[in-house]
Amino acid sequence: MRRRRTWCRARSRWARAASIVLAVGLRPCTGALIVLVFALSQGLIVAGIASTLVMALGTGITVSVLAGLAVGAKGVAVRLSGDGSRLAHVVHRSIEIGGALLVFFLGVTLLIATLGWG
């Protein structure tokens, strides 16, 4: 009976992950739409479709590599600091806050550059 519950939980996790992937994949990419509209206006729809597929492949490869690096780096950090230790918790939170601040400041920089404040 316990094995069945574990299998059901694993199946539920896969179903949830698949629904997230589907939801993200349904949102159209702005760059792909621009390429397709341009290709349509130039009468090169096959080239536009091919370009969009290659863009999707490149994005998929990039995201997969970055996700693999992130998971690997987390594993190394946990091994170095010890799973569940106070140091691991502090390092984990510091990296999360640092990443959020980096994205925030990058956004502010792009906003300032766009508005011409600098």
Query: What are the pLDDT digits (tens) for 37-72?
Result: 999 999 999 999 999 889 888 888 988 898 888 888
Torsion sign across C-alpha atoms 61, 77, 88, 104: negative
Average predicted confidence (pLDDT) for the chain: 82
Query: What percent of the chain lies above the pLDDT cut of 70?
Result: 87
- Least confident range of 52-56, 79-83, 89-93, 107-111: 79-83
> 19 or 24: whose pLDDT is higher?
19
H helix runs in the chain, sequence order: 2-26, 30-41, 45-81, 86-115
Based on C-alpha coordinates, what's the Rg of the chain?
21
> How many Cβ atoms are within 10 Å of 39's Cβ, its own excluded?
18
Contact 78, 91 (CB under 8 A): no
